[in-house]
Amino acid sequence: MLTITDLSLQRGGVWLLDSVSLTVQPGQRVAIVGANGAGKTSLFQLLLGQLTPEQGSVSLPGGCRIAQMAQEVAATDRSARDFVLDGDLDLRRLERELEQAEARGDDNAAAHIHGELDLHEAWSAARRAESLLRGLGFQNGDADRPVSAFSGGWRIRLNLAQALMRPSDLLLLDEPTNHLDLDACLWLENWLRRYDGTLLFISHDRDFMDRVATHVVHFDHRKLELYTGNYSAFEDQRSERLAQQQAGFERQQARIAEIQRFIDRFKAQATKARQAQSRVKSLERMEKIAPAHIDSPFSFEFPVAEKVSSPLLSIHHGRAGHGETVILDGINLSLLPGSRIGLLGPNGAGKSTLMDALLGQGEQGAASTLISGERTCGENLAIGYFAQHQLESLDLDASPFLHLQRLSPRASEQRVRNFLGGFDFHGDQALSPIRTFSGGEKARVALAVIAWQKPNLLLLDEPTNHLDLEMRQALTMALQNFEGAIVVVSHDRHLLRNTVDEFWLVNDGRVAEYDGDLEDYERWLADRRKDDTEAPKRQSAGTANADGGAGEPESEAGVGESAEDRKVRKRAEAALRQKLSPYRKQQATLEKKMESLHNVLSNLEAQLADPALYNDASKNQLKELMGKQAEAKAQLENTESEWLDVSETVETMEEELEG
């Protein structure tokens, strides 16, 4: 699908790639990772023909259709539906040609174009566009709203929907999860796993890469290293490679020291001068093995306030919303020191509304969304609040240093600089106005401001947007060590899994403890989408209601069922789901293993297809490869058999649940 040969690329005098080669096979889903500024986005621009390499070539199959996700979209009065449909260029071309044919009265041409439109399934295009919008979190009615009515983050979602709408052989996505919530991330994962083209995507979301990627390309010291497997597999393989590299580096350093000692000892002796000069040339020729520097540039913590109250914050009989509109009702909660809570809930259910209610009137300059009820703060409550709109409140003309100095005018310059160093703001950058900073750098400034103030309650609304992998990992570790309370909304499941102890579900106007994990929540979302999809079918198949319309038939489980019986049934179903959970996890693990073994076999078969392998000189290599092939086939057969047994158990238990 994609072949890069002996490629070198520079931008602004900085070399990004140096004599690299890479092959991506059709159907592979490749995550592109590497440090900020390494050249990931430049690689995409190269594939799109927007950049020219200094040397080498990039080869794609003839007629390859490329779809990409744009990072910006201008305000327009076109509806969201039409904007997404614009992604299908062939559809729009055929529509224009049909309009022209009808205008000139060319019935033969119009009939031909109608046939092409039918082959293109134009009749279902609007429905497919609306399905993409729903999957990415847009509400009913949003399809008819103009693009200009949406905020920047939602316009990015529209760009993503447009890219997914475009028929393609190669799909390029740059940070597709940056402006998505957890629900939309899960939907996108499933969509991309069904995509039958080749996918290249840049991401800093570990779980997303684990679920989507079949391969990882790592930008490393101006080289491209291809790894087989998802991000976790990449981490394992890279750590092993770095350990070997470090050992090689240490051996080489010992050899260099030995040669240098010889040079220093004998360079002044005439009888040894020629040998010493030979050693000098040997050192010059020696290819230096880089030390395995894998230390993160970030190292910080959230110091907790000296005084703590218990509870920190309580809301009783709360109603929250905007103006007269109530979004959440019956809010009863208490946050104790050490509480670590993740908020789950469908898009638009009220997670941000709850965060605003917790923040309260006047906190951080925000207006309260608590319409009624009692909000009680502990005497020593100190809130640290992060949301994307907080970045807009930063003083763009102030430096990171000045932001902290304004909070603590008496703090020494060295103390402020040391603190900022943990967020990778060093030297001149710590003193530079943040106006030219990237979104990730501004987010780091906002987090530094929060940490500097020593909160005992952190309210974090999507804190990982724009942050790279190293900063996300540092944030996760800082939250793990934080002794105060945490309430977090995030689509980053790695952060949630490693920083919170319990989940609250925000849904149907209520806030309640969620008795399950992220995998349970994903299944709950899938069932909910299934119910939403099937509701129109059930309605059309239902019995006529009193108004003569179609009504939804009552489920068999609900016929003549008392509230107590329903409660007992729900408990039994919950117990069965809990029992089913490990089998589903085992099923997913086996599916991953089968996919991995299929990849191994494909690789072995590609090697065995080499005619040179069947020469007498290659007998041993051929025997070794055939042995590996037989072993992989046996493993695959055993895994498939185990998968069938587990799947049968899952199917039986699911039937019991449905019954």
Concatenating the DSSP letter of every residue in 174-241 gives ESTTTT--HHHHHHHHHHHHH--SEEEEE---HHHHHHH-SEEEEEETTEEEEEES-HHHHHHHHHHH
pLDDT tens digits, 154-194: 888 999 999 999 999 999 998 898 888 888 899 999 999 99
- Report, as an integer, the average pLDDT of 480-487: 86
C-beta of residue 198 within 8 angstroms of C-beta of residue 171: yes
Report the pLDDT value the prediction gives residue 534, as an integer from 0 to 100: 46
Identify the weakest region by mean pLDDT among 366-380, 477-491, 615-629.
366-380
CA distance 117 to 85: 14
pLDDT at 548 over 50: no
**What distance lies between CA 608 and its chain's CA centroid?**
37
C-beta of residue 344 within 8 angstroms of C-beta of residue 521: yes
Q: What distances in angstroms separate CA 12 from CA 15, 35, 432, 587, one per listed residue?
A: 8, 17, 21, 49
Q: Name 460's bridge partners.
A: 386, 488
Report the pLDDT value the prediction gives residue 332, as an integer from 0 to 100: 92
Report the pLDDT value the prediction gives residue 506, as an integer from 0 to 100: 92
Report the pLDDT value the prediction gives residue 549, as an integer from 0 to 100: 38
Report the pLDDT value the prediction gives residue 459, as an integer from 0 to 100: 94
Helix then strand then coil, in percent of the chain rounded to 5, is 50, 20, 30
Write the DSSP assignment of 512-525 as a string of letters: EEE-S-HHHHHHHH
Residue type, 229: G
Report the pLDDT value the prediction gives residue 276, as an integer from 0 to 100: 59
C-beta of residue 646 within 8 angstroms of C-beta of residue 590: yes
Q: What tokens were used for 239? A: 């750590």
Edge to edge, what strands does the sheet with 457-461 contain? 383-386, 457-461, 485-489, 340-344, 502-507, 510-514
Helix axes 400-407, 413-421, angle to 10 degrees: 130
Among 241-245, 425-429, 542-546, name the most confident range: 425-429
pLDDT: which is higher, 577 or 405? 405
C-beta of residue 39 within 8 angstroms of C-beta of residue 111: no
pLDDT: which is higher, 1 or 570? 1
Give the three-state DSSP class for 14. Answer: strand
Place of tokens 């990171």: 400
Edge to edge, what strands does the sheet with 370-377 contain? 325-335, 313-322, 370-377
Report the pLDDT value the prediction gives residue 295, as an integer from 0 to 100: 54
CA distance 207 to 28: 18
- Report, as an integer, the average pLDDT of 129-141: 88
Report the pLDDT value the prediction gives residue 532, as an integer from 0 to 100: 55
- Report, as an integer, the average pLDDT of 2-18: 85
C-beta of residue 550 within 8 angstroms of C-beta of residue 539: yes
- Percent of the chain exceeding pLDDT 70 equals 84
Other beta carbons within 10 angstroms of residue 362's beta carbon come to 9
pLDDT at 571 over 80: no
pLDDT tens digits, 467-483: 888 888 888 888 888 88
pLDDT at 505 over 90: yes
Q: Tell if the pTM clears 0.95, that is, is over it.
A: no
pLDDT tens digits, 405-452: 999 999 999 999 999 998 889 888 999 999 888 888 888 999 999 999
Dihedral angle over CA of 495, 500, 506, 512, nearest 10: 170
Q: What tokens were used for 601? A: 């076999």
CA distance 635 to 551: 52
C-beta of residue 485 within 8 angstroms of C-beta of residue 458: yes
Report the pLDDT value the prediction gives residue 541, as an integer from 0 to 100: 37
pLDDT at 247 over 90: no
Among 63-77, 340-354, 543-557, name the most confident range: 340-354
Q: What tokens were used for 404? A: 């902290």
- Report, as an integer, the average pLDDT of 276-301: 58
pLDDT at 256 over 90: no
pLDDT at 629 over 80: yes
C-beta of residue 402 within 8 angstroms of C-beta of residue 457: no
CA distance 155 to 455: 34
- Report, as an integer, the average pLDDT of 592-603: 82
Among 139-143, 381-385, 479-483, 605-609, name the most confident range: 381-385
| Strands 170-174, 198-202: pairing kind | parallel
Identify the weakest region by mean pLDDT among 142-151, 289-298, 390-399, 449-458.
289-298
pLDDT at 658 over 80: no
Output the CA angle 252-258-264, nearest 5 degrees: 135
- Report, as an integer, the average pLDDT of 138-162: 87
Report the pLDDT value the prediction gives residue 346, as an integer from 0 to 100: 84
Among 99-103, 437-441, 612-616, name the most confident range: 99-103
Q: Name 502's bridge partners.
A: 341
pLDDT at 272 over 60: no
Average pLDDT, the chain: 81
pLDDT at 602 over 90: no
**What distance lies between CA 518 and its chain's CA centroid?**
15
